[in-house]
């Protein structure tokens, strides 16, 4: 019996590894400023990843009931690591199974020990490049180029918010066709993001879905309430969920039945109410 169980486990693991999508580098010859380290291997620490010098997206494309919606997922980790388990791959699989294309972003880490990167110059360049890449390949991947959003957790939530605040229509005469595409997300989802004091809201910004925990630190639990009011004052459609029995980092874990654990369902309802999903 024990041998049979072990064999089944090994086969399941092998099948998962064989089916796992491959990461696609965002720049063919390495990210600007990181070309010399593009071939340097990432390091895995449990479900976390560090030493990212060749930023990428890992695509999870729906095989049926495709809604045409795409979401770029920026995991958290304090800009010192990427929490790819409960803030990355598991959620991407959930979206894929619900007809939504998901792309897990590995961005450069500004606060990893010894890092020479910054959030605004490198991590944000990666986030904008991810949006441009998905928009450029939208037809190939069965995506509506006007239904591409970005979602971020904690530190990744900062990138999502900044992407909605600061973007451009693309450079029409760029030699690189990806750089000709717009970096503006069509919607944003901020899941317990940090540095909310740096976020602004202006008329015309993409609609926003916000989720956090009552038990999170004040700059997030109270900061998200203040941010919602900023969006309201600017006339930007916003939806806010503050879960009374959650703290920081609840992410998405399959099988969770708490209210906070089922926030992806609320998010898809918001997509429907907002006209992105039928």
**Domain containing 231 — which CATH number?**
3.40.50.1820
Contact (Cβ atoms closer than 8 angstroms) between residue 237 and residue 73: no
- Asked, for residue 3, whether it belongs to a domain, the answer is no
Residue 12 falls inside a structural domain? no
* Total of domains in the chain: 1
**pLDDT of res. 245:** 97
User: Residue 3 has which token pair?
Assistant: 């041998």
At 51 the pLDDT is 98
Q: Residues near 71 by Cβ (< 8 Å), separated by ≥ 6?
A: 95, 100, 101, 102, 103, 148, 149, 150, 151, 189
DSSP, collapsed to helix, strand or coil, labels residue 139 as coil
C-alpha span between 155 and 267 (Å, rounded): 20
Question: Is position 165 within any domain?
Answer: yes
Residue 253 within any structural domain of the chain = yes
Q: What pLDDT is stored for residue 215 in this prediction? A: 97
Q: pTM for the complete prediction?
A: 0.92
Any domain includes 212: yes
75 closest CA partner among 105, 55, 46: 105
Residue 217 within any structural domain of the chain: yes
Write the DSSP symbol of residue 208: E
Virtual torsion, Cα 204, 202, 214, 246, nearest 10 deg: 40
For 92, the enclosing helix (H) or strand (E) is helix 90-97
Domain assignment of residue 16, yes or no: no
Q: How many CA atoms lie within 13 A of 277 on its CB side?
A: 23
- Adjacent-strand bridge partners of 151: 73, 189
Residue 229 lies in a domain: yes
Cα–Cα dist 183/163, whole Å: 8
Q: What does the pLDDT profile of the chain (278 residues) look like in tens digits? A: 433 333 333 433 333 334 669 999 999 999 999 999 999 999 999 999 999 999 999 999 999 999 999 999 999 999 999 999 999 999 999 999 999 999 999 999 999 999 999 999 999 999 999 999 999 999 999 999 999 999 999 999 999 999 999 999 999 999 999 999 999 999 999 999 999 999 999 999 999 999 999 999 999 999 999 999 999 999 999 999 999 999 999 999 999 999 999 999 999 999 999 999 98
If you search the block for the tokens 């070309």, which residue do you land on? 35
The range of the structural domain enclosing residue 237 comes to: 21-273
């Amino acid at each position: 019996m024990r041998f049979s169980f072990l064999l089944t486990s090994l086969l399941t693991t092998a099948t998962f590894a064989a089916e796992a999508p491959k990461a696609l580098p965002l720049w063919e010859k390495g990210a600007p400023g990181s070309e010399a380290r593009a071939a340097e291997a990432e390091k895995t620490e449990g479900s976390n990843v560090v030493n990212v010098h060749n930023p990428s997206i890992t695509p999870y494309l729906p095989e049926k009931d495709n809604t045409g919606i795409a979401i770029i997922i920026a995991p958290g980790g304090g800009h010192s690591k990427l929490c790819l388990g409960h803030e990355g791959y598991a959620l991407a699989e959930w979206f894929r199974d619900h007809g939504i294309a998901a792309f897990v972003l590995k961005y450069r880490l500004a606060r990893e020990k010894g890092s020479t990167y910054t959030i605004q110059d490198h991590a944000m360049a990666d986030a904008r490049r991810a949006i441009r890449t998905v928009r450029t390949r939208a037809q190939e991947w069965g995506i509506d180029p006007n239904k591409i959003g970005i979602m971020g957790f904690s530190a990744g939530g900062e990138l999502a918010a900044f992407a909605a605040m600061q973007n451009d229509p693309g450079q029409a005469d760029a030699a690189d066709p990806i750089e000709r595409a717009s970096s503006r997300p069509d919607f944003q989802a901020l899941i317990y993001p940090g540095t909310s004091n740096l976020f602004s809201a202006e008329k015309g910004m993409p609609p926003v879905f916000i989720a956090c925990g009552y038990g999170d630190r004040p700059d997030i639990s109270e900061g998200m309430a203040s941010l919602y009011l900023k969006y309201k004052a600017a006339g930007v459609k916003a939806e806010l969920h503050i879960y009374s029995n959650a703290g920081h980092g609840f992410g998405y874990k399959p099988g969770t039945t708490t209210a906070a654990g089922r926030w992806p369902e609320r998010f898809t309802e918001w997509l429907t109410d907002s006209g992105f999903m039928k």
